[in-house]
Amino acid sequence: MSEERKCPVFHETSLYKSPPCNAKILKKEPILSPEMIVGRLYGPKDIRGGRTGGDDAFYYLYVCENDHTFVRPDWWADVPVVLPETVSALGIVNKAPKWYTKLPKEEKEKIMK
């Protein structure tokens, strides 16, 4: 992607609406399924959720400079990919499932490809 993506997080209630964060996206971490048979989480390539032709993409947990986290497909922003359990925001670490932590290093690398 040529354009640099900015953080889309905002807050809206019936009394208050904040502008989008617009902070720089720092990194993304692959999302792993709780079950080994599924492996990495994937879904529709269209972020609006529509299944228009069967194109699927792997999903990642993105984090911005202001510690906002959100889920988007792999194509959404061109930022460095980090290993599972690397992203932490507001003091909360995204823990990898037990099946992943028990794998040898070679197997972990195969899953990330």
pLDDT in tens, 68-112: 888 888 888 889 888 887 777 777 777 888 888 888 888 888 777
Say which residues have a Cβ less than 8 Å from residue 90's Cβ, sequence separation at least 6: 67
Within the chain, residue ranges assigned H as helices are 98-101, 105-112
Domain that holds residue 102: 25-112
* pTM of the shown model: 0.78
Sort 106 into a burial class: Cβ within 10 Å, 0-12 / 13-18 / 19+: exposed
Say which residues have a Cβ less than 8 Å from residue 102's Cβ, sequence separation at least 6: none
Q: What is the pLDDT of residue 2?
A: 45
Asked whether residue 9 is domain-assigned, the answer is no
Asked whether residue 64 is domain-assigned, the answer is yes
Query: Contact 20/34 with Cβ under 8 angstroms?
Result: no
If one counts the domains in the chain, the total is 1
Cα(54)–Cα(66) distance, integer angstroms: 34
Asked whether residue 11 is domain-assigned, the answer is no
